[in-house]
């Protein structure tokens, strides 16, 4: 039986100092964004430096948007950073995700972002479509053409419905802050939470106190779904998520 505290990913890190700060505060995962023309963009070389600075038992995540023509080459470059996970944050179709999975090393997993809008059934069905080919689903707010970091919440009732429908771990993002994360966890009961702008003093730069309070609030919540039976995942038997590995009996 898998219960206990919610896992926490601090995303949108742009430098070593912020990443170390988050790790020392107790983050389970550190994310960097390798999407051009976004305010928290970092190169893969910078991602490698950030990841090398981190202590053991902290998962490393690269956020990307992939297109079919260059997907295999990009994945190889991401693997070279030492990442544990690639987070697909665009509109990658299921077929492309399947192709990416088949081309990847067994040591790296896939997190797929699902945009949450106002249509409950459409959101649930879209999440379910990826369930068998990824290691986790991340729910973020649809806000025009922006890829996240908007500071906007979505309808957490829809997120809760997705959590209830899926066996694959679900990570909640979108508009989370130190002030609302405990309520969000109580309402949605996700496996993990993901925050970027909600713990910043300005775009791309973390606020140490906000990071600390956010992680503390999430750790105290302890109100998550029983994810028994989901580890190791059917999609990726060797994967461990954020970053501990659970083998359900």
**115-174 pLDDT, tens digit each:** 999 999 999 999 999 999 999 999 999 876 665 556 789 999 999 999 999 999 999 999
State the residue range of the domain holding 162: 7-221
Residue 234 inside a domain? The answer is: no
CA quadruple 195, 196, 202, 205: dihedral positive or negative?
positive
**91-117 pLDDT, tens digit each:** 999 999 999 999 888 889 999 999 999
What total number of domains does the chain contain?
Answer: 1
Instruction: For helices 208-221 and 181-188, give the axis angle rounded to 10 degrees.
Output: 30
Contact 31, 42 (CB under 8 A): no
Residue 247 inside a domain? The answer is: no
* Overall average pLDDT of the 3-10 stretch: 87
Q: What's the pTM?
A: 0.90
Q: Which two tokens stand for residue 133?
A: 């080919």
Residue 175 inside a domain? The answer is: yes
Residue 230 inside a domain? The answer is: no
pLDDT above 70 coverage of the chain, percent: 86
- CATH no. for residue 171? 3.20.20.70
Cα gap 205→202, rounded to integer Å: 6
Residue 238 inside a domain? The answer is: no
Q: Which residue has the higher pLDDT, 2 or 43?
A: 43
pLDDT band at 238 (very low <50, low <70, confident <90, very high): very low
Question: If DSSP states are collapsed to H, E and C, what string results for the chain?
Answer: CCCCCCEEEECCCCCHHHHHHHHHCCCCEEEEECCCCCCCECCHHHHHHHHHCCCCCCEEEEEECCCHHHHHHHHHHHHCCCCCEEEECCCCCHHHHHHHHHHCCCCCEEEEEEEECCCHHHHHHHHHHHCCCCCEEEEEECECCECCCCCCCCCHHHHHHHHHHCCCCEEECCCCCCCCHHHHHHHHCCCEEEECHHHEEECCEECHHHHHHHHHHHHHHCCCCCCCCCCCCCCCCCCCCCCCCCCCC
Active site residues: 11, 140
User: What is the separation of C-alpha 222 from the centre of its chain, rounded to a whole number of angstroms?
Assistant: 18
**36-68 pLDDT, tens digit each:** 999 999 999 999 999 999 999 999 999 999 988
* Overall average pLDDT of the 70-82 stretch: 93
Residue 226 inside a domain? The answer is: no
Residue 241 inside a domain? The answer is: no
Residue 235 inside a domain? The answer is: no
């Amino acid at each position: 039986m898998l219960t206990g505290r919610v896992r926490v990913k601090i995303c949108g890190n742009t430098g070593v100092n912020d990443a170390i700060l988050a790790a020392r505060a107790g983050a389970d995962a550190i994310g960097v964004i390798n999407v051009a023309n976004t305010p928290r963009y970092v190169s893969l070389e910078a991602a490698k430096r950030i990841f090398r600075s981190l202590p053991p038992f902290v998962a490393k995540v690269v956020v990307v948007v992939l297109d079919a023509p260059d997907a295999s080459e990009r994945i190889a470059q991401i693997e070279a950073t030492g990442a544990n996970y690639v987070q697909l944050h665009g509109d990658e179709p299921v077929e492309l995700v399947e192709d990416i999975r088949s081309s990847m090393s067994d040591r790296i997993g896939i997190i797929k972002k699902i945009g949450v809008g106002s249509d409950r059934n459409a959101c649930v069905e879209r999440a379910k479509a990826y369930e068998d080919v990824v290691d986790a689903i991340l729910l973020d707010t649809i806000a025009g053409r922006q890829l996240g970091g908007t500071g906007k919440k979505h309808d957490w009732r829809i997120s809760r419905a997705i959590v209830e429908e899926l066996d694959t771990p679900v990570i909640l993002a979108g508009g989370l802050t130190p002030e609302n994360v405990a309520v969000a966890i109580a309402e949605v009961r996700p496996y993990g939470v993901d925050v970027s702008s909600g713990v910043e003093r300005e775009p791309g730069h973390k606020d140490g106190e906000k990071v600390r309070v956010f992680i503390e609030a999430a750790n105290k919540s302890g109100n998550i779904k029983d994810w028994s039976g989901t580890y190791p995942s059917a999609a990726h038997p060797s994967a461990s998520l954020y970053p501990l590995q659970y083998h359900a009996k």
